[in-house]
Amino acid sequence: MKIRALSVFEGIVYHCWAIDRSHPCRPTLEVEAVLREGDADEGPLLLPVADYVTLAGGPDIARPCLGDLAKKGRIVDHLGVAHIAFPFWTPVAIDRPAPRVHPPE
C-alpha cells in the first residue's frame, strides 16, 4: 500500500490519501509536502491508525495488518493515540513556496 502525505507537521501526517491500496499490510509513505525545520527531522513520521484503517479499506482489511505491524514495532503511542511509524519514507519533489512579497508602502 502506498500512502501519499500532503501535509506533515512536527512528525505527524495530517492529510494523506492512498495512491495504491494493494498490499495493505506493507504500507509505505511518500511525502509530497512542504517540510519545515522540525517537521520530519525528529524521528519517524507518524500516521494515526484511524487514518490508516480508512485508507486500507476498513477494519476487516486493516485488523490483521495492524497485528503484523504491532509485532514489528511499527505501532507507537503519541499523546495517547496509536500511530503507525514510518522510519523511512520517500520524498516527492515539490517546489518550496515563494517568499511573501509585501506591497510597497
Band (43; pLDDT cuts 50, 70, 90): confident
Q: Is residue 16 part of a domain?
A: yes
Q: How far is CA 84 from CA 2, 27, 28, 68, in A?
A: 14, 9, 10, 11
pTM of the model: 0.85
**Which structural domain range is residue 63 located in?**
2-91
Rounded to whole angstroms, how far apart are CA atoms 68 and 77?
A: 16
CB atoms within 10 A of CB 90: 12
pLDDT tens-digit map of 8-42: 999 999 999 999 999 999 999 999 998 899 999 88
Instruction: Give the β-pairing of 28-31 and 90-91.
Output: parallel
Q: What's the number of domains the chain is made of?
A: 1
Residue at 99 is within a domain: no
Q: CA–CA separation, 82 vs 47, rounded Å? A: 9
Domain assignment present for 103: no
